[in-house]
Structure 1
Amino acid sequence: MSDIAGELRESEVETAVSAPRAVPGRQDAGLLLGLMGLGSILLLWWALIHFLAEPGGLGERFSPLAAFASLRDLVTGSDLFLHVAVSLKRILVALGFALLIGVPVGLLVGLNRTFEAATSPAFQFLRMISPLSWMPIAVMVLGVGDTPIYFLLTFAAVWPILLNTAAGVRNLDPAWLQLSRSLAATRWETLLHIVIPGVLGHVLTGVRLAIGILWIVLVPCEMLGVSAGLGYFILDTRDRLAYSELMAMVLVIGALGFLLDWTTRMLHRHWGHAG
């Protein structure tokens, strides 16, 4: 199989040489425009509170100044980082389960037409069911705690990974498969050296989509009777009427979600064309 690996490395070199490089000036302009967009959102937030909220009323607790003041207090404390760590752990565990399920099944769907025909209607039916609709069933069957959260998050994340993996198999270059057959490669060698590297970009695309879904589903899932996590903290601030802390947590959730998406984009940029 060294011949196959050599052929693939040569194709990677050709792709890398022909790929256009990013222009620094355009990157700086894009960063500036992005910062201007974020600034516009903050300005709109301030204007809505300033012009619509009554002076000294409840609405002022949702203002940017109050939120950033509470955010400073939360960052200097210790509870915030505990909740962040618990939520990130749940995201990573559920993503791991989704990969363990979605990638092998996606490979099987892409490689076996009979299996695809038998499972496609069921998969399309299941993926259209909102993960949150399973919350009462998950609690009744699995109880409270992390177990139902892992189930709900995995159910939410598995579909983009599975479907993107299957799409990656279908989009494999037939010349690569023909090369493996001409070199008398076994099925395992073809899978290891051609199929998996060839679908890596699609898998990473599925991971990015999955993380976006996970981050949205996480907050309501963490209101299932757990005692830590970003969703739990949101619920706690609401019960304590600490609305400035609630808005600070909204900022934290948005910032962490942005960082997770940025990380997956960087992974896709560096590893997405490995095949």
Structure 2
Amino acid sequence: MNAPPPTGAFVSQAHKPAPGTRRQAGRPRVRRLLLGVIGLLALVGLWWIGTDVLAAPGSFVRRFSPMPAFASLADLLVQSDLLIHVAVSLKRILVGLAFALAIGVPVGMAVGTFGALEAATTPAFQFLRMISPLSWMPIAVMVFGVGDSPIYFLLTFAAVWPILLSTAAGVRQLDPRFTQLARSLAATRWEMLSRVIFPGIIGHILTGVRLAIGILWIVLVPCEMLGVSAGLGYFVLDTRDRLAYSELMATVLLIGVLGFLLDGLARALCRRWS
């Protein structure tokens, strides 16, 4: 008689994916990607219809046509200093997000931990959150002067609220059995924070970061019209003043692409750590 195969053979065969399973799992992703591309092409088609088909010949609207905008974008990326403006804007985003994290995470953890603090601060936080960050622009310029400082203040003010509120919600949703177990094992405050609380709320923090990045990217462009000499907002004003309308639309396209990529990066981080 032939000897039976070892038990491990059954285990390895049981854990092997069925033929074609991986291929079938990838089909929804490909389909979703194709649908997204079709949606983007439809958006460009609507843009073309609005500027080249429906607009009257010689109309001012025709200056914002997609074909010259795409051509100008290719030229700007190769021949101009547009990439320098992109780097400056991304640096401001990172600095504003870093300040918002440094403020929002510890305050959010405190608010989520202490009920009395939550009751005392929630009305004030909700009131401040509903004030548009752009309404602070004149005050920021008067207090901080012209330059990067008022931009950092406005970006931090815009980004801190989703991070703070998401962090507080994460702390409140922690399973109390985990903290009770850590206390029963005589965990120190640092061990409680680093090994129980923070790992349990990292998904909520990243969700707040994703929301904050979307707000930051929207607020950034008008903030960069405060008298600075670099950044995407500055470049938009520069193209308007030079009457370079195709370059203006190219910059608008680039702002959308960069915002899309930043949101994709934030979504990837959420999937990785949530």
TM-score normalized with structure 2 length: 0.90
Alignment partners' CA distance in 2, 1:130 and 1:57: 35
What are the superposed Cα offsets for residues 46-78 of structure 1, whole Å, 9 maximum, x if unpaired?
A: 111122222244222201111011111101124
Structure 2 runs not aligned, ≥5 long: 1-21
2:267 is equivalent to residue 265 of structure 1:
yes
2:246 is equivalent to residue 207 of structure 1:
no
Alignment partners' CA distance in 2, 1:218 and 1:224: 11
Alignment partners' CA distance in 2, 1:43 and 1:54: 17
What are the superposed Cα offsets for residues 125-175 of structure 1, whole Å, 9 maximum, x if unpaired?
A: 111100000000000111100000000000000000000000000111122
The corresponding residue for 2:147 is: 145
Structure 1 runs not aligned, ≥5 long: 1-20
Question: Which amino acid letter does the alignment assign opposite residue 269 of structure 1?
Answer: R
Within 5 Å, give how 1:208-223 maps onto structure 2: 208-223=210-225
**Contact (CA 8 Å) 1:61, 1:67: kept in 2 or not?**
no
Alignment partners' CA distance in 1, 2:113 and 2:80: 49
Alignment partners' CA distance in 2, 1:55 and 1:70: 21
The corresponding residue for 1:227 is: 229
**Contact (CA 8 Å) 1:67, 1:245: kept in 2 or not?**
yes
Within 5 Å, give how 1:37-76 maps onto structure 2: 37-76=39-78
Alignment partners' CA distance in 2, 1:237 and 1:44: 24
The corresponding residue for 2:162 is: 160
The corresponding residue for 1:190 is: 192
Q: What is the number of residues matched between the two proteins?
A: 252
**Contact (CA 8 Å) 1:222, 1:230: kept in 2 or not?**
yes
The corresponding residue for 1:3 is: none
The corresponding residue for 1:11 is: none
Alignment partners' CA distance in 1, 2:199 and 2:30: 32
Alignment partners' CA distance in 1, 2:166 and 2:232: 29
Alignment partners' CA distance in 2, 1:46 and 1:219: 25
Alignment partners' CA distance in 2, 1:180 and 1:131: 41
Question: Which amino acid letter does the alignment assign opposite residue 246 of structure 2?
Answer: S
What are the superposed Cα offsets for residues 182-221 of structure 1, whole Å, 9 maximum, x if unpaired?
A: 2121222111110000000000000000000000000000
Alignment partners' CA distance in 1, 2:122 and 2:74: 49
Q: 1:78 to 1:66 in 2, by over 3 A?
A: closer
The corresponding residue for 1:99 is: 101
Match of 2:34 among 32, 35, 58: 32
Percent identity of the aligned residues?
Answer: 71
Question: Which amino acid letter does the alignment assign opposite residue 221 of structure 2?
Answer: V
Question: Which amino acid letter does the alignment assign opposite residue 110 of structure 1?
Answer: G
Question: Which amino acid letter does the alignment assign opposite residue 106 of structure 1?
Answer: G
Match of 2:121 among 114, 119, 122: 119
Match of 1:245 among 225, 229, 247: 247
Alignment partners' CA distance in 2, 1:171 and 1:139: 40
Kindly name which structure, 1 or 2, has the bigger radius of gyration based on alpha carbons: 2
Offset of residue 179 of structure 1:
1.4
